[in-house]
Amino acid sequence: MNPVEIPLSAPDITEAEIEAVVSVLRSPRLSLGPKLEEFEAAMAAYVGVPNAVAVSSGTAGLHLALLALGIGAGDEVIVPSFTFIAVANAVRYVGAHPVFADIDAETLNLDPACVEEVITSRTRAIVVVHTFGLPAAMEAFLDIAERHDLRIIEDACEAIGAEVGGRRAGGFGDAAVFAFYPNKQITTGEGGVVVTRHSAVARRMAALRNHGRYDSSDRFDHTEVGYNYRLSEMQCALGLEQLRRIDAILARRADVARRYCELLRDEQGLALPGQRLSWFLFVVRLLRVNRDRVQSRLAEAGIATGRYFAPIHRQPAYAAWRDAKLPVTEAIAAQTLALPFFNRITDDQIRRVCSELRAALQEPVRPSPD
């Protein structure tokens, strides 16, 4: 395997951000301090929801949101299979049963009609993922939730800042989760935030994140079994600084996406991503050639790409779900390829990716054996 010359993603950390983290390191509070409160307040204001709870990862956020909304053993939760595995795993952490629903081929988000088809008397919630930064059809999901008395958790981990009808992703559900892993639009290294308009849910999540302590002044008053899902002051300081320049970050990512679209527009056999409101990844679909062959060819040229997403129901950890009927998910997942996409990618790098991709598309290749 050749060395990676153009990575799939790369961090964008400014000197001011490094300074902000270092000054926390010089302060007396490294956890549960003022940066946590500031970061939570800033995220709540940004999303437009009254409460935010910062946690150690997006996955931890999904786990706490499910717990605090009372989802547990015997409950069914509807999730997409065309997404990151943490979405279904979090449902299993609380002892509930994930039920997969198919996606819409255009938006790659859950298809409301497919969701309705799998609702049973045990369904309690839907995790609606805003895939790759495109908000899902929230009106339809809120309507379904109302008719069937279901909770809605928005997984906005890929969609920070995406706005629909003047409301930002994360402002629609009973709770919404954001994530700050290094490949996301903004990063804290590891981290997440859950927002909710229900203050009791926020209070419970804040306690569960901190070993079940409802009153942080009393170190040994554990009302229920909790977790350590805290986000450190250093991470909160980094998140705050990144959030301060999110408009510039999202604009830069939109520019990179626009440039890719310009360069690849006339390419046959390639479906470009539709407009995103907050660009997480740049994912193309290869309509005529074998995706895995293209991926290895690009790897040989030093270009990293990603198979976003391998369907969850086809993972060994989900053997019991393997027969779920998800034809759109399976068809799309075999074709998708994420191209290098990060704030600091140069125009030369974008052009190099496009010319290598073009060459790979022209190579006569047989269809995939599977």
Ligand X SMILES: *Cc1c(COP(=O)(O)O)cnc(C)c1O
Binding site for ligand X (CB under 6 A): 57-59, 83-84, 86-87, 129, 155, 157-158, 179, 181, 192
Max CA separation in the chain (angstroms) = 68
Closer to ligand X at the Cβ: 129 or 162? Answer: 129
Per annotation, catalytic residue among 184, 209, 213, 253: 184
Residue 341: left (phi > 0), alpha (psi -120 to 50), or beta? Answer: beta
35 is catalytic: no
Contact in structure between 126 and 78 (CB atoms under 8 Å): yes
Strand partners, 232: 31
CB of 50 to ligand X, least distance (A): 23
Shortest distance, position 315 Cβ to ligand X, whole Å: 15
Question: For residues 201 and 174, is the Cβ–Cβ distance under 8 A?
Answer: yes
Closer Cβ to ligand X, 92 or 148, answer by number: 92
Q: Which helix (H) or strand (E) holds 167?
A: strand 167-168
Q: Of 46 and 308, which has the nearer Cβ to ligand X?
A: 308
SS3 per residue for 97-124? EEEEECECCCCCCECHHHHHHCCCCCEE
Smallest gap from residue 179 Cβ to ligand X (A)? 4
HSE toward the beta carbon, residue 46, CA cutoff 13 A? 25
In the complex, residue closest to ligand X by CB: 58
Smallest gap from residue 156 Cβ to ligand X (A): 9
Which among 366, 297, 286, 296 is positioned nearest to 334, based on CA atoms? 286
Nearer to ligand X, 193 or 360 (CB): 193
Q: Which is nearer to ligand X, 67 or 361 (CB)?
A: 67
How far apart are CB 278 and ligand X at their closest, in Å? 12
Residues contacting residue 261 through CB under 8 Å, at least 6 positions apart: 272
| Tokens describing residue 166 | 């003047």
- Residues forming the active site: 184
